[in-house]
Amino acid sequence: MQWFEVAVHIFITALLCLSFAWTLVPWGFAMSAFRRGNSYKKGLLGFVFWWTFIIGHIVALYLLWASTLAVIWLVIVMLVCHLVYGFTVVRKVNA
């Protein structure tokens, strides 16, 4: 692994850690509000999605350092997951 690959991996690791913290704290409160404001089934579905998303961050961090998977695919998948979660679950937090 060359120095610029290590630098990119460190940068993506920092982004994943910040993204993980964002998923845990602010979006955890949003999950709580989503569960209170919706039916049991929708709340459970959102809760499962949230936990899957948390585990996805850990898996992405592992894959970043332990595999030869292209970094861009990890970034794209995590970005899409954040957007989907944000537009489906977190959309009504400030309402």
69-84 residue pLDDT tens: 888 998 999 999 999 9
DSSP state of 94: T
The CA distance from 63 to 59, in Å, is 6
∠ CA(10), CA(74), CA(63), 5° rounding? 70
4-49: per-residue pLDDT in tens? 989 999 999 999 999 999 999 988 888 888 888 889 999 999 899 9
For the chain, the 3-state helix, strand and coil shares in percent, each to the nearest 5, are 85, 0, 15
How high is the pLDDT of residue 1? 74
How high is the pLDDT of residue 91? 76
